């Protein structure tokens, strides 16, 4: 698909479940994708987490961003949505300390992987 960059990464080193990241090159493309997925008439969105009907069976969620509006805060916000999707998928018992730790590590991995995928190549190009 023109006008986007797509990435995927595992939620952890030991998991087959994956997170997708889609970076749109225009606000219009991001909005159009959001409308297509949700069937809604929502106006402009900053980003969104899609977790239903994702084509790849191992992909648990897909984060969508517009390149010009990506911030660490926005990545953290969407990573939290993706982590909640995973918690529901696992039927997470949040009273269980081990599960809480797994979810904390998952959100950390989603944030760091997304930051590395989106910003590290750009930084390397400038060196």
pLDDT (0 to 100) of residue 119: 73
pLDDT (0 to 100) of residue 126: 41
Per-residue pLDDT tens digits for 16-46? 889 999 999 999 999 998 988 888 766 789 9
pTM of the full structure? 0.84
Supply 25's token pair.
């090159």
Check if the beta carbon of residue 6 is closer than 8 Å to that of residue 101: no
Query: CA 100, CA 115: separation in Å to the nearest integer?
Result: 23
Per-residue pLDDT tens digits for 58-97? 888 999 999 998 999 999 999 999 999 999 988 999 888 8
pLDDT (0 to 100) of residue 80: 95
pLDDT (0 to 100) of residue 13: 83
List C-alpha distances in Å: 40 to 7, 16, 48.
25, 31, 13
């Amino acid at each position: 698909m023109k006008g986007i960059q797509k990435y995927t990464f595992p939620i952890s080193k030991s998991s087959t479940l994956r997170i997708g990241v889609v970076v749109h090159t225009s606000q219009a493309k991001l909005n159009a994708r959001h409308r297509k997925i949700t069937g809604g008439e929502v106006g402009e969105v900053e980003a969104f987490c899609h977790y239903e009907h994702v084509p790849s069976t191992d992909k648990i969620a897909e984060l969508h961003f517009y390149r010009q509006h990506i911030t660490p805060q926005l990545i953290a916000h969407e990573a939290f949505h993706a982590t909640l999707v995973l918690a529901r998928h696992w039927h997470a018992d949040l009273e269980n300390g081990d599960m809480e730790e797994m979810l904390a590590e998952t959100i950390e991995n989603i944030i760091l992987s997304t930051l590395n995928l989106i910003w590290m190549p750009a930084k390397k190009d400038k060196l």
